[in-house]
Amino acid sequence: MTPFSPLVSPVSAPPALDAQDLRKSYGRGKRRFAAVQGVTLTIAPGQVLAFLGPNGAGKTTTIKMIAGLIRPDGGWVNIAGKNPHRQPQALQGVGAVLEGNRNLYWRLTPLENLEYFGVLRQMSGKMARRRGQSLLASFGLLDKQQVPVQKLSRGMQQKIAIAPP
């Protein structure tokens, strides 16, 4: 991914996210290659940023560096003024990161997934089922409760993936 400068809204509040000159290489020796080469992003509170690029451009690697999941080789990150690599509480204001949808069982229905994860978290089967139905209702997915997750749209899958147990 090569450097670029996103549009920044003219809001004077301190940035919600400030990432400067992020860099990351993978591999060793001759196989070493730069996945992210100097990405700078600033997002003001309330601003929406679309971060687009072709497959393999380095988007996920950049987001992992922002979320403190991998250490950048260069550059720095601030979330609401804190460095997530040194102060994990910086991530408390990050609601959810939806990267893919691997955390669901594809052949199970949304309700079966929610029941399964509810029971794993110590709920009774009955309680997990009731809770699952109420979560599906609040996401407007009651009509999909019997459809296997693999036949839902990506956005529907993502709603189920973030549904709290």
Ligand X SMILES: Nc1ncnc2c1ncn2[C@@H]1O[C@H](COP(=O)(O)OP(=O)(O)OP(=O)(O)O)[C@@H](O)[C@H]1O
Binding stretches for ligand X (CB under 6 A): 26, 35, 53, 55-61
The encoded tokens of residue 12 equal: 């004077």
**Contact predicate 82/93, CB 8 Å:** no
Shortest spacing between CB 144 and ligand X, in angstroms: 26
Shortest spacing between CB 5 and ligand X, in angstroms: 18
25 forms part of the interface with Mg ion (CB under 5 A)? no
**How many CB atoms lie under 10 A from the CB of residue 35?**
18
User: Which residue's CB is nearer to Mg ion, number 51 or number 139?
Assistant: 51
N-to-C CA span, the chain? 37
Q: How many residues bind Mg ion (CB under 5 A)?
A: 1
Residues 59-78 that bind Mg ion (CB under 5 A): 60
For residue 29, give the DSSP letter.
Answer: G
Shortest spacing between CB 25 and ligand X, in angstroms: 9
Interacting residues of 48 by C-beta distance below 8 A, sequence separation 6+: none
* Interface contacts to Mg ion, rule CB under 5 A: 60
